[in-house]
């Protein structure tokens, strides 16, 4: 599979920086809004960037490793939450509606037969992954299919003009898979990578770390990032990884959510590290281990609200701040326009 992503290079970088610096404000005083405005302008290669048809894709999938008792919640919560998304009652429904973000829901591999629904995209690969302490979570063919499915979803959005995209996920057990990917891709230990997820206590976290340790031992010979993703990831993560790689190819701005979405980004980064040029990190999750991911990627997230939900909620909540960055660049007066003395 070819994911051709250009390193970000804009011949307008100096002009964009000049535009930011000559707005009626002390130099640098809009802080991170300035770096966000610069980055999006460079991605779009323009002095007047626009956010078009912002979309969050929520991918749902189940995990065989739930057999190991690594989540306080039962597996059926995955399909039940998909139903909740379809009725509009989940946190991601509320925040995307609040901020005028389109929401797409995708079944990538939930252990349930949904009736066909106009708002549920069927990209089901299987009824959940296999238990990765006993063998690979998915076959390479399944993983490739998920990557392709993700890329295909982004193809459709590109045709509609979408130029900013975020991702969310739902899958009971997926903090264990995300922590396993963190270990395999960065070399960190399960003790550091395993966190509370939906609410494990200390004992539960220690058990989760031991489950991850077994999986890492079993799959330790794997080096190729796609093979690691297939062995330890989930259908929702692989779909998101494929979608991210395609979004970067189309020069979309990619909003990165919490622990699980960042684990999908780690896979994408290992496949093509130019992807980081297109990413904006929306928040720092309270989940143990997200900090390790962010440090590894040298990322500075916009928000730190102790959120640890996933679903893309961090991106949905951060989106208005990204809008503010675009608004100040396009609408604020310069010192010259406003007749304000610069020093």
Ligand X SMILES: O=C(O)c1cccnc1
Report, as residue numbers or ranges, the catalytic residues: 311
Structure tokens at 333: 């007066």
Please, what is the minimum distance in Å from the beta carbon of residue 180 to ligand RBZ?
A: 11
Binding flag, residue 208, ligand X (CB under 6 A): no
Does residue 34 touch ligand X according to CB under 6 A? no
* Structural contact between residues 302 and 321, judged by C-beta atoms closer than 8 angstroms: yes
293 near ligand X, rule: CB under 6 A: no
The whole-angstrom separation of Cα 267 and Cα 337 is 46
Name the token pair of 146. 């998920």
Closer by beta carbon to ligand X, 245 or else 265: 265
User: Rounded to the nearest whole angstrom, what is the least distance from the CB of residue 32 to ligand X in the complex?
Assistant: 20
First to last CA, the chain: 54
Binder among 198, 274, 324, 330 for ligand X (CB under 6 A): 198
Phi–psi pair at 314, nearest 5 degrees = -60, -40
Check residue 197 for interaction with ligand X (CB under 6 A): yes
238 contact choice in ligand RBZ, ligand X, none (CB below 5 to 8 Å, kind-dependent): none
When the beta carbons of 22 and 198 are compared against ligand X, the nearer one is 198
Of 98-106, 111-119, 303-311, 325-333: span binding ligand RBZ (CB under 6 A) = 303-311
Kindly state whether residue 109 participates in binding ligand X, applying the rule CB under 6 A.
no
SS3 107: strand
Q: How far is the CB of 311 from ligand RBZ (least distance, A)?
A: 5
State in angstroms the smallest separation of the CB of 125 from ligand X. 21
Candidates 229, 193, 187; CA nearest to 61 is 229
In whole angstroms, give the CA distance from residue 33 to residue 35: 6
Q: Are 261 and 310 in contact (CB under 8 A)?
A: yes
Of 42 and 257, the one with the shorter C-beta distance to ligand RBZ is 257
User: By CB under 6 A, is residue 258 in contact with ligand X?
Assistant: yes
Q: Which is nearer to ligand X, 16 or 316 (CB)?
A: 316
Q: Say whether residue 282 binds ligand RBZ (CB under 6 A).
A: no
> Beta strand 164-170 with 253-256: parallel, antiparallel or unpaired?
parallel
Whose CA is closest to 250, among 283, 222, 275?
275
Segment 184 to 203, residues that bind ligand RBZ, using CB under 6 A:
197-198
Candidates 111, 310, 315, 318: give the one binding ligand X (CB under 6 A).
Answer: 310
Q: Radius of gyration of the chain from Cα atoms?
A: 20
**Cα–Cα distance between 65 and 212 in angstroms, integer?**
10
| Token output for 18 | 């000049």
Which of ligand X, ligand RBZ, none binds 259 (CB below 5-8 Å, type-dependent)? Answer: ligand X
CA-CA distance, 178 to 259, in Å (whole number)?
7
Residues that bind ligand RBZ (CB under 6 A): 71, 73, 77, 81, 169-176, 197-198, 309-311
């Amino acid at each position: 599979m070819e994911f051709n992503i250009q390193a970000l290079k804009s011949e307008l970088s100096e002009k964009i920086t000049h535009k930011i610096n000559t707005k009626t404000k002390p130099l640098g005083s809009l802080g991170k809004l300035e770096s966000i405005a610069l980055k999006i302008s460079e991605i779009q290669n323009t002095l007047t960037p626009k956010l078009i048809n912002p979309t969050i894709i929520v991918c749902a999938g189940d995990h065989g490793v739930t057999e190991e008792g690594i989540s306080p919640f039962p597996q059926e919560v995955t399909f039940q939450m998909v139903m909740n998304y379809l009725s509009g009652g989940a946190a991601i429904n509320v925040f995307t509606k609040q901020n005028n973000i389109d929401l797409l829901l995708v079944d990538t591999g939930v252990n349930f037969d949904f009736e066909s629904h106009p708002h549920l995209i069927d990209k089901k690969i299987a009824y959940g992954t296999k238990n990765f302490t006993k063998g690979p979570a998915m076959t390479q063919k399944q993983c490739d299919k998920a990557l392709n499915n993700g890329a295909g979803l982004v193809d459709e959005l590109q045709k509609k003009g979408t130029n900013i995209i975020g991702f969310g996920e739902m899958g009971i057990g997926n903090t264990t898979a995300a922590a396993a990917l963190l270990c395999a891709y960065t070399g960190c230990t399960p003790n550091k990578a395993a966190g509370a997820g939906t609410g494990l206590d200390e004992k539960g976290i220690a058990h989760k770390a031991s489950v991850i340790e077994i999986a890492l031992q079993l799959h330790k010979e794997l080096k190729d990032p796609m093979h690691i993703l297939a062995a330890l990831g989930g259908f929702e993560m692989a779909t998101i990884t494929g979608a991210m790689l395609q979004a970067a190819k189309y020069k979309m701005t990619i909003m990165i959510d919490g622990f699980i979405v960042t684990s999908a980004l780690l896979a994408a980064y290992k496949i093509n590290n130019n992807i980081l040029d297109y990413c904006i990190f929306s928040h720092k999750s309270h989940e143990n281990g997200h900090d390790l991911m962010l440090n590894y990627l040298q990322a500075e997230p916009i928000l730190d609200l102790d959120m640890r939900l996933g679903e893309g909620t961090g991106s949905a909540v951060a989106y208005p701040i990204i809008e503010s960055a675009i608004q100040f660049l396009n609408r604020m007066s310069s010192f010259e326009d406003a007749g304000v003395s610069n020093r």
